[in-house]
Structure 1
């Protein structure tokens, strides 16, 4: 059975933030018994880590929370992703600009937005990159809250038809 809604999370290297969001969102979807209604993926705007599994810090925090990242490998975002995903969620505003550039004029009508738009009450514009800052626990906290908000948004959007 094919998923009716597809979600793509995007960050810079696709080894820290976006795979964390992918894994958390998959976990939430499975817990709600929605794996055949929502499909989740992640990609990066940079090619440094192509084919690599999530960063050790991401794997550690996901393990601590019992969230699987099995089979995940870094890949690049591609212009074809615009046609394949209903929700394209960028972990920071630089990623958002880069993705808009990759998608070109098509990006105007997409459900393309910054992750922290899901959590306006947090007062944070971007999900910080733990690759540089090492703050994987804080990033997990933001990611989990944002994925919960996105799941509720998707369920509401789907109910509206």
Structure 2
């Protein structure tokens, strides 16, 4: 990564209306709280083009708003080929969407792909962020719990990279 270039994170789920926009909004909030918005760019997308240009699910927005996260400006979009080149971290919410990303991703960028929950420190039994779309409000609360923790781990990981660069004199 070049000097002054932002670290770019893309959160991915299926339709980009529940899980990935929740991760997007939570991470933007955490990045701002850490004073790193000049260094980190956040976006979200879906592996399927079901909901292009639609706002996040109302239930996801309601749950997020209760915790102080704003999702109103977000609109669904599909993962595009240039995302694989542009983003440094492309984090899927579950193994099915990760597999889709792996199939679509040019070979030279596969190292950027992963599962968001690999950054979790509190939720060992959860390896994926399950889709809450067909469930009740509890599912949206669980998504927030998982995303808040995993995003904190991701932020610590990224900040560790910044500290390493500073220690190396970059």
Q: TM-score, normalised by structure 1?
A: 0.93
Counterpart in the other structure of 2:74? 72
Matches within 5 A, 1:5-154: 5-108=7-110, 110-119=111-120, 121-134=123-136, 135-154=139-158
The structure with the larger Rg is: 2
Shift, 1:69, TM fit: 1.5
Q: List alignment gaps of at least 5 residues for structure 2.
A: 166-170
Question: 1-side partners of 2:73 and 2:108: how far apart?
Answer: 30
Off by >4 Å, runs of 4+ in structure 1? none
How many residues in Structure 1 have an aligned counterpart in Structure 2?
Answer: 159
Shift, 1:36, TM fit: 0.8
Q: TM-score, normalised by structure 2?
A: 0.88
Shift, 1:3, TM fit: 5.4
Question: 2-side partners of 1:104 and 1:29: how far apart?
Answer: 29
Equivalent residue of 2:105, what SS? helix
Equivalent residue of 1:67, what SS? coil
Alignment RMSD = 1.4
Question: 2-side partners of 1:70 and 1:15: how far apart?
Answer: 11
Q: Deviations along 1:115-145, whole A, 9 cap, x unmatched?
A: 1111265211211101122310011100100
